[in-house]
Chain A
Amino acid sequence: MSGLQRRLYKAIVRIHPADFRDEFGREMMLDFEDAVHTYGLGCLWRDGLWSLVRQWSARILSGGPEPSSTPRPSLLAGQYVMICEERLTMIELGRGLIGSVMLLALCLFGLGGASKDGPTGAARDVIDLPIVYVSSSTPATGRDAKPASPLPASESSNSDFKFSQSTVSAFAPMATTSTTLSSDGSTSALALAGVAQAQPSPELLLYHTSGPLPSYDVATIKPLDPNTADRVVKLPPGTSLINPLSIRRYTMDAYGAKYAAQIIGGPDWLNKESYVIHGKVPDDLEAALQKMTSQGGIDQNRSMQQSLLADRFHLKAHFETRVLPVYELAPAKGGLKITEVPAPPERKSGDPPISHRTGDPLSPGTSVSSFNSDGLRVLNARAIKMQLLARIIGGDAGDRPIVDHTGFTGYFDIKDLTWAPLGDAGADSGPDAPSLIGALEKTLGIKLVPAKAAIEVLVIDHIEKPSEN
């Protein structure tokens, strides 16, 4: 979001009536910042302008600031305005005329600016944070279609608006459907308009399990005192990083979520409280893990984490697929500025883990990112795919995931891709520091394009603080 767009919304807030602006202006700006990526600029501007019209209309037509002892105002907010019974004076008519002209000019300016903003512009009729369709059962390569405990289909739908995974699996693309709820709460169909047709790409799917979940022999869950946690985890102030010791992060790991946006719902403590969790892997599984591939080991660990979440945190959740704003990695106009390199050698089970020391050349298939003395982030990589690049830089594009849409399937070296990270980590870098978007285009010949994509998400229905060890 550019400063101009933010300033424009601020201007809309500022020309609200003084009492409303003083009371809610700051909150409106904060909510605008939060919502801009999910709701879109056009919609928020339109909402701001309508609010402006409502507030000033009520003010002008009622002849001044609302007295403190007004009779009960209508709760039909946004649909009716209060009108005084007395006739309007010339002064009031003049104020109304001036206000209307100002609003008209602002509307034209706002809509004109929004229409240039691509998918978030005013041209869209509907903002689409929402669930558009659901089908979490489409298996990705190597993944099972049916989620097992702790996500039984019968328990996965405790809301009238939620989809039951069991009943709408393999949901076919369609324009509009009707809905009824069966007595057990499962959804047989749902009325939706504007149904998207895409399925999530493999990198945007979550990890599903099948059959009984393996569990740790013994697991200890130790809540950290906030003061201790602050010493252990030092997140830069103002950053959008998620606390690595939080249960939200643990849930992300357990379900293979690559982006925070893939875990939805849950209480506040999921983000705020820090836990240290240790699990002892059963001996027989430990031996089996030695023979597994790297991915097999990761999956087993995730399954045990899911089991722990179900047993100790009583997690109940369900999968959904939502269409959410993303950035697509796409070739820039000037063409790709890096050349394809040979694929890295395939790693086998039993291979020693790859290690890296500062100054050593990178092994093929690895990447390293660091912060330089100016606070800029520097990424170097050898023989990595665009998909991995998208994931590495994903945290520095705000709250949108970055998905690879370059069409380049090969492997590439990346040398000194340098940009100012989000948050205060790049505070020393100054206003002229290269942005991620600029660095990608200049160094790699790749651009970030705002878009929408189907993403599989986990919606937390219920979770409790952990039981005592």
Chain B
Amino acid sequence: MCNFHLPEADREQRESVVVDSTRNPIYRFSNMNPAAYLPLSPATLHVLLALTRGDLHGYGIMLEVARQSGGQYKIGPGTLYDNIKKLLKLGLVEEAPAESSESEPRRRYHLTKMGASVLAAETERLASVLREARRGLRLHEERQS
């Protein structure tokens, strides 16, 4: 095996990133009220939000969380699996089937219907907090002036 390189035309070895997306439409705890889970911690919120992009393995979730927050919020494996463990238990996230073509399959996680409902409820809650915060700040400024 021999590679010949010309100046400015070299194409060398590069990294490969493989992320899978498969689904397992089995929902648990579908009768629970999403509001009962609120408020969510930032880590939980970001993990659920990351999984709206599709089924991801742990590192995929870490990257997606960093991307979604513009790099301002990052979680490591310890924090991630602490949250995943809780979310699995609550049925907000479930494990997606392994990809049979992978020699060493990684566990991927899938946002359940309940998880999506909880995320939607949290989004609503945060929106109302924002509205309230803006109103409060406006009143405060008016009082100051």
- The contact string, 1 if C-beta is below 8 Å from chain B, for chain A 62-102, is 00000000001101111100000000000000000000000
Smallest CB separation, A1 vs chain B (Å): 15
Point out the residue from B37, B71, B84 that lies within 8 Å of A75, measured CB to CB: B37
Chain B residues in 8 Å Cβ range of A47: 75-79
State whether the Cβ of A140 lies closer than 8 Å to any Cβ in chain B. no
The verdict on A39 contacting B89 (CB below 8 Å), with A27-B57, A241-B14, A365-B7 known, is: no
Point out the residue from A51, A55, A75, A384 that lies within 8 Å of B7, measured CB to CB: A384
Point out the residue from A43, A132, A248 that lies within 8 Å of B76, measured CB to CB: A43
Contact B15 A260 (CB under 8 A): yes
- The contact string, 1 if C-beta is below 8 Å from chain B, for chain A 374-403, is 000000010010001001111110110000
- Cα distance, A56 to B133, chains bound together (Å): 37
Chain B residues in 8 Å Cβ range of A79: 41
Q: For the side of the interface on B, what is the size category?
A: 35 or more
Chain A residues in 8 Å Cβ range of B9: 294, 298
Binds A, one of B16-24, B124-132, B136-144: B16-24
The verdict on A366 contacting B71 (CB below 8 Å), with A27-B58, A34-B59, A79-B41 known, is: no
- Cα distance, A52 to B79, chains bound together (Å): 10
Chain A residues in 8 Å Cβ range of B17: 248, 260, 271
Point out the residue from A44, A46, A48, A268 that lies within 8 Å of B18, measured CB to CB: A268
Give the residue name and chain of the A residue nearest to B122 (CB): A75
Chain B residues in 8 Å Cβ range of A49: 78
Chain A residues in 8 Å Cβ range of B86: 73, 75, 77
Chain B residues in 8 Å Cβ range of A226: 101
The verdict on A399 contacting B15 (CB below 8 Å), with A75-B37, A295-B8 known, is: yes
Smallest CB separation, B145 vs chain A (Å): 21
- Cα distance, A49 to B75, chains bound together (Å): 13
- The contact string, 1 if C-beta is below 8 Å from chain B, for chain A 220-262, is 0000001000000001010111110000110011000001110
The verdict on A78 contacting B81 (CB below 8 Å), with A39-B74, A241-B14, A261-B15 known, is: no
Chain A residues in 8 Å Cβ range of B6: 354, 365-366
- Cα distance, A396 to B89, chains bound together (Å): 41
Which of A47, A77, A368: most chain B Cβ within 10 A?
A77
Contact A128 B71 (CB under 8 A): yes
The verdict on A54 contacting B82 (CB below 8 Å), with A32-B77, A78-B41, A369-B3 known, is: yes
State whether the Cβ of B44 lies closer than 8 Å to any Cβ in chain A. yes
- The contact string, 1 if C-beta is below 8 Å from chain A, for chain B 1-37, is 1111111111111111111110000000000000011
State whether the Cβ of B135 lies closer than 8 Å to any Cβ in chain A. no
State whether the Cβ of A149 lies closer than 8 Å to any Cβ in chain B. no
Chain A residues in 8 Å Cβ range of B12: 391-395
Point out the residue from B4, B54, B57 that lies within 8 Å of A356, measured CB to CB: B4
Give the residue name and chain of the B residue nearest to A397 (CB): B13
Contact A75 B40 (CB under 8 A): yes
Chain A residues in 8 Å Cβ range of B106: 27, 30
State whether the Cβ of B72 lies closer than 8 Å to any Cβ in chain A. yes
State whether the Cβ of B134 lies closer than 8 Å to any Cβ in chain A. no
Considering the complex, which residues of chain B in the window 85-118 have a beta carbon less than 8 Å from any beta carbon of chain A?
A: 85-86, 89-90, 101, 103, 106-107
Contact A51 B78 (CB under 8 A): yes
Contact A366 B5 (CB under 8 A): yes
Contact B14 A24 (CB under 8 A): no
State whether the Cβ of A371 lies closer than 8 Å to any Cβ in chain B. yes
Other A-B pairs, 7, CB within 8 Å; known A72-B36, A240-B15:
A43-B74, A47-B75, A73-B90, A264-B67, A271-B18, A322-B71, A398-B15
Q: List 25 A-B contacts (CB under 8 A).
A: A20-B81, A24-B84, A27-B77, A27-B107, A35-B59, A44-B77, A47-B79, A48-B76, A52-B78, A54-B82, A76-B39, A128-B71, A129-B71, A130-B72, A132-B71, A241-B14, A242-B13, A242-B16, A253-B11, A271-B19, A356-B4, A366-B5, A368-B2, A370-B2, A396-B13
Residues of A within 8 A of B (CB): 20, 23-24, 27-28, 30-32, 34-35, 39, 43-44, 46-52, 54-55, 72-73, 75-79, 127-132, 159, 161-162, 190, 192-193, 226, 235, 237, 239-243, 248-249, 252-253, 259-261, 264-265, 267-268, 271-272, 294-295, 298, 322, 344, 354, 356, 358, 365-371, 381, 384, 388, 391-396, 398-399, 421-422
